[in-house]
Every structure is written in structure tokens, then in C-alpha cells.
Amino acid sequence: MRNIHKPSIQTEGVCTPEIEDVSVGPPNLPPGASVEKNNFFDRFRAAPFSIQLCILLMLLMALTAVFAPYVAPFDPNQTSMLERNDPPSWMGGQSGHLLGTDQLGRDVLSRCIYSLRVSVGIALLGVIIGCMIGVVAGILSGLLGGWTDRAIMMIVDFQLSVPFMLIVLVGIAVFGTSIMVLILLVGTAHWETYARLTRGQVLTVREYQFVEAAVALGATNWRIAKRHILPNIASPIIVLLTLNFPSILLLESSLSFLGIGVQPPTASLGRMVGEGRDYMMSAWWLVISPASFIVLLTLCIQLIGDWLRDVIDVRLT
């Protein structure tokens, strides 16, 4: 056979760059252009004025609720029948109470401040518990599939088919009316909506190429869920959380209205609205004052959640 000799390639004088000398950076940019990386505080400063105002109001209400014993002008449970249903001081009230007094002569402003601790605490913990249960169930259902998916969706369908108020009534009848029991019962509200939303998002995201590449490289389900699934489904979950927070507040108000929620003399926004409904014609401030706190809370949280959706979503940053 005839030997074929390949011509030798002369490499003398040729400079081959080493790997360390090769820098990976952004593509060629026009003159004067630069890549800007904004952190959370930069985005906050660039946020609309309405968002900044909502965040400041939320911080103010949070600090007021935490330091309620030092901020409240009166004892929320101190009664004075001689000052019952006294109008606010700016409406000519004689007792000097800024938001007036209730049917037992208690200061409405002090009770609203203390109600923030109870109502917001119950709603916040309930939303967090429900979100955690639903997100974990949705990720397991969408990522594992098979009998795990069928079992979790069966539980979700059962939760949707049973009136939640019936579950709450049974739970209170069995475990009592303590605040801890109320938090756990409220935490089971709407978890099925988180589970369904998360499952649908996981079924979509797991078909992306970067997830398939992670699976091919041998990544565990925990790593896939933490590094690739959660960052891409955080936006709709946050939006759903902000939408569910007002409903949790209203649920606490409904339970207190029925007398199975927060028990007296502990003040809550829902109980204050329920107790003042019989005096709306003669003492409207008993209902308007706590209702204004509820409206302000829900509005600020919804606006902040909509803004956080654009900030956190990795597909928009």
C-alpha cells in the first residue's frame, strides 16, 4: 500500500494564547454603552412614587404593631361608660380620643393599633403556611409525576370539594378557639390554589432545555427544584400570595364576626368591624376606622406584590 504523508505544519513563531488570558465578558457594545447591574435598593429608588409610599406605609404599620405598647395612647381594654360612643376629637369629641371611643368607652385608635398585631400576624402566618404547603406539594407533583402526582391532585380535589368553613368549624370544635389553632386552620386555606399553580408552572419549566441539561448532568431533584424551578416560578406565586392575603384577612374577619375567631377582649380588625356594625348610624367611626386599616393594608400589599413580580422575575431582569 502507498503511504500518504501529511505535510507538517510549521508552528514556529505562532503565539497561542493560554486559557487564563481569554476573558469572557459581554458582547461588543456601542461606544459609550455599558452593562448596568441594579440591586434591590437601586430598583427601590427607581420604583414609582406610589410603590415607595406603599412600602413606607407598610413599614410604618409594622413598626406601629411591633411597638404597640409604646405607641398606643390608651389601654385598648380600658372601659369608660361615661365616654361610650364619643366621636373623634376632630369632630368635637369631649374625651380627647383621636378616633373616638366604642360602645364600651374604649379608645378606637389604641384598639386598631393592637388589632394590627393580631390580624396581620394571623393573616401573614396563615398565608406563609398555606404557600409553603402548596408550593412543596406542587413541586413534588409536577417534578415526580406518577402516583405522587395523582395522590396530591386527589387531595387537592377533595379540598376544593369540601366547604372550607365546615373544616374550620370542625377544627375549632375539636381543638378549641385559641389563636394558635386559628393560625393553623387559616394556614390550610387556599393551599390548593398554590399547589395547582405550582404544578402547572413546574410542568412547563421542566421542559426547558436548561432543566433537561441539568437532568442529563445528574442533578438531583432537590437541586433542580432549588436552582432551576423555583427562580422561574416565583413571580406567579408572589402575585397569588398578594391576592390571597386580603382573602385571609377577610376570612379572619368572618370568623370573628361569627364569634369563632379571635375571642374578646383581644382586639382584631375583623372583630372591631363586627362589633361596630350595630352602631353604624350613630357611631360610624367604629366601623370606618378598622375597615380603613384593612383597605390600606390590602391595597399596599397588592401594589407591592405587583412591583415585586417585575423585580424578582428572572425572565424580566
Please give the average per-residue pLDDT across 6-24, as a whole number: 43
Residue with cell 393573616: 123
State residue 314's pLDDT score: 52
Q: Which of 33-47, 137-151, 167-181, 216-230 is most confident?
A: 137-151
Q: Is the pLDDT of residue 111 over 80?
A: yes
Q: Is the pLDDT of residue 125 over 50?
A: yes
Please give the average per-residue pLDDT across 169-177, as a whole number: 84
Which helix (DSSP H) or strand (DSSP E) does residue 244 occupy?
Answer: helix 230-258
Confidence band of 133 (pLDDT split at 50, 70, 90):
very high
State residue 18's pLDDT score: 44
Neighbour-count burial for 46-82, b at 16+ CB within 10 Å, e otherwise = ebeeebeebbeebeebeebbeebeeebebebeeeeee
Please give the average per-residue pLDDT across 85-90, as a whole number: 84
What's the chain's average pLDDT?
Answer: 79
> Is 120-317 CATH 1.10.3720.10?
yes
Share of the chain above pLDDT 70, in %: 85
State residue 151's pLDDT score: 92
Q: Which of 12-26, 37-51, 273-287 is most confident?
A: 273-287
State residue 207's pLDDT score: 81
State residue 22's pLDDT score: 36
Going by C-alpha positions, the residue among 174, 166, 64, 44 that lies closest to residue 119 is: 64
Residue with cell 415526580: 144
Confidence band of 26 (pLDDT split at 50, 70, 90):
very low
Q: Is the pLDDT of residue 221 over 70?
A: yes
The CA distance from 63 to 84, in Å, is 29
